[in-house]
Amino acid sequence: MLTIDSFAADLRTYLEPSQIDQVKKAYSFAKDAHQGQTRKSGEPYITHPLAVASILADMHMDHQCLMAALLHDVIEDTGIPKHTIVKEFDDQVAELVDGVSKLKSMFESRAEAQAENFQKMTLAMSKDIRVILVKLADRLHNMRTLSHLDPDRRRRIAKETLEIYAPIANRLGMNNIRIEFEELGFKAMYPLRSSMIEKAVKRARGNRKEIVSKILDSISAALNRENIHAEVFGREKHLYSIYDKMRSKRKSFTEIMDVYAFRILVDSVDTCYRVLGTVHNLYKPVAGRFKDYIAIPKANGYQSLHTTLFGMHGIPIEIQIRTHEMEMVANNGIAGHWLYKTSEDSVSGSHKRAREWMKGLLELQQSAGNSLEFIENVKIDLFPDEVYIFTPRGEIYEFPHGSTPVDFAYGVHTDIGNTCVACRIDRRLAPLSATLESGQTVEIITAPGALPNPAWLSFVTTGKARGGIRHALKNQQRNESVTLGQRLLERTLQTYKLTLKDIDPAKLHKVLEDRKIADLSSLLAEIGLGNQMAYVIAAKLVSLPDNPEEGNYQGPLAIMGTEGMVVTYARCCKPIPGDPIIGHISAGRGIVVHTDNCKNMQELRNKPEEIMAVRWDPKVEQEFSVELRVELEHEKGIVAELASTITNADANVERINMIEKDARLGTLNIVLSVHDRVHLANVIKRIRTIKGINKIIRVRS
C-alpha cells in the first residue's frame, strides 16, 4: 500500500529536499482536512489524493502540481476556503486547487449544467495546464477503483471518460493515460464485449507467437547488416482499439488480428529514415500507407514514421519508427514538457500545439451562443483524424478529416472565414464545400462586406468554423432585427405624430425596466424579431392603452427585399412582388410574408395582434422563388427545351421534379426564381409556345 514515506522516497529522484517537505506538508494538511471521511471501498479518503499525486509523480510533475493533487478535494469536500490554502501554501497552489474544485461537478447533472462545467474546465486549463493534468490523474484513479460503485454510476462515469477525458488525454499527447482510460472505460461500459474480445485475443496470441518471433528476427538481422542500433519489439493491440476498429471499419476480429504491429526505437531522426529504407528493402511497402508524422507532426505533437508492409506469405505488417525522445512524448505528451514553465518564445512542438488548441477553445467559448453549443463544437474538435493543408506561403495547418475550404478559412483567421467568397485548391477554383485532402494548397478569396452563408453550417466540420458562422449570423440577424424594429416602431409612432427622438427618456427607461430589457437597441431587436409588438411598445411610450384600434394608426409596411433574415417569405405560398400580401409576426423569426389568400393564414386571422399590413416597395429588385406545375406530353428533349426556355426568359431554374407520369403524359413541378408577377407572366407565356405543353398552374399553399 502506498504511504507518504514511500511516496516521498520516490520523489527524491527528481525533486529538491525543500520541495519534498512542501509536498509532505500538503499531505498532512489534506489528511487532517479529510479526517473521518472514507471512500466507497471503506479506505480512508486520503488514499485517493495520495494516489492521484503518485500518478503525477510518475510523470515527474513539479512539487506545486503534486501539492494541488493532494489538496484537490479540500475546498469542495471539507469546506476549507481558498484563502486558507493561500495562507498555508501559496497563490499558485491555491489557484490550481480552486481550478480543479470548479470541475468537481463536471458532467454530473443535466446536459446544460454539464456543458457549463466543461466551459469552466477550459477556462481553468487556459490559465494553467496543470489543472487539467490533476483532473486527468483524479479521473484515472477513480477509473481504477470503479468496481466499488453501482453498475449505473459505473457506466455513466465510463461513458464520460470515453467521450471527453480519453480524447482530451489524446489531444494533449498523453498516450499512456488515454489507453488506460479506454481500456478501463470499455471494461466498465461493455463488460461482456470486453471479456469476449479479451478471451479471443488470448486464444489468438498463442498462434501468433511464432510469426511475431520470425518477423522480429528478420527485422533485427536486416538492421544489424546496416549497422543500425535499434530496439525492435512487437506491439500488442489494446482491447478498445480492436473493438473500435471492428465497429468503425466494419471488420471482423480475424481481419484485425491478421495485422502484425511492431515499433522500432532509435537514437536520431536521421536513423529513423535509414530504418525506413531498410524495412522497405526487406518487405514490400503497401502503396498509400506511408505517413511521415516526423516532418508534419500530429496536432498533439506526436511524431513517428508509419508504414505498412507485405511480410512473409503476404502477412500485413504495421511498423512505427521513432526516436526514444519521440516515444517519451508519445506516452506522456504535454506532461513531459513543463509547458507551464516555458516562456512564449521557447514554446515548440506539442507545447505550442496544446497552447494553440487551448487558445482555440477560448475563442470557441467567446463565440458560442450557449454552453451546449460550445461543448458540441469541442467534441467535434476532440476527435480529429487530421489532414494537413498548406497556405500559399507554405505554412501548414491541420484540420479534422472531412474539412472544407470554409474550415480552412476560419482556421487561419475568423475574419477571413467571415468574408470568404471563393477558394482555389492547388491553384484551381473549387467550391467552398469541397472536401480537403492532405498536401493540398488552399487559397481563400475574400470580399470586404461579405457575410457567412447559413448553408455553410451543413458542411463545415470544425468547431471554430461552426462557432464563427453562428456568431456572425447572430450578429447579422441582430443588426437586421434592430433596423426592422426601428422601422416598425417609428411607423407606429407616426400615428401619434411622434418620432423616437420625441420620446421622454424616463418613459423609455420605465418600458425597458418593466420588460427587463437592457437598452433601446435590444428593445428594437426584440420588436424586429417579433418578440415584442410595436403598437404595444408605442402605446406604453406615449402612455396610452396598448390595445388601440389597429386601423387607426398602422399603414402597410413596405417590404423592400433587403431586410435579410428578419423578413422571410412563406414556403407554402411563395409570394412574389405583385401578389397581394399580408405579414405574420412570428416570435423569434420576425415577419413572415404570405400571399393574402394563403390557406395557412386563415386560422391566424383570428389573432389580429399577430397580423401586420404589408405591401411591396416599388423598388424591390430581389429574385423570388415560385412553383409551377406543368403537364406535358412525353416527347424527346421536351424537359431540356423547357429548362432552356425558362433560362432564355431571364429566369433561373432552382429545381425540377417529375411527380407523376404514365405512358403518354407527365407532370413536372418546377421551382424557379423571378423578379415579380410581370416577369412570371412572361415566363409562362414563353413556356406555352413549346409543343407538347398542355397545362401550366402556379402552385399555391
Which residues are CB-contacts of 505 (< 8 A; sequence separation ≥ 6)? none
Task: Calculate the CA 216 to chain-centre distance.
Answer: 42
Does the annotation count 258 as an active-site position?
A: no
Residues 334 and 299: their CA atoms lie apart, in Å, by 12
Measured CA to CA, the distance from residue 87 to residue 29 in angstroms comes to: 12
Distance CA 86, CA 97 (A): 10
Q: What is the DSSP letter of 44?
A: B
Quote the DSSP letter at residue 452: -
**154 membership: H or E segment, kind and range:** helix 151-160
Question: Which is catalytic among the residues 62, 76, 183, 617?
Answer: 76
CA distance 283 to 261: 14
Q: Which candidate, 652, 475, 488, places its Cα nearest to that of 564?
A: 475
Which entry of 77, 292, 617, 623 is annotated as an active-site residue?
Answer: 77
Task: Report in angstroms the alpha-carbon separations of 675 from 133, 647, 700.
Answer: 61, 13, 17
Q: What is the dihedral of CA 380, 386, 387, 389, to 10 degrees?
A: 80
Cα–Cα distance measured from residue 664 to residue 258, given in angstroms and rounded to the nearest whole number: 59
Residue 76 appears among annotated catalytic residues: yes
567 alpha carbon, distance to own chain's centre: 30
Quote the cell numbers at residue 409.
478559412
SS3 699: coil
Please, which residues bridge with residue 696 across strands?
A: 630
β partners of residue 263? 233, 320
Q: Which of 33, 43, 128, 35 is nearest to 88 (CA)?
A: 33
For the annotated catalytic residues, the residue numbers are 76-77
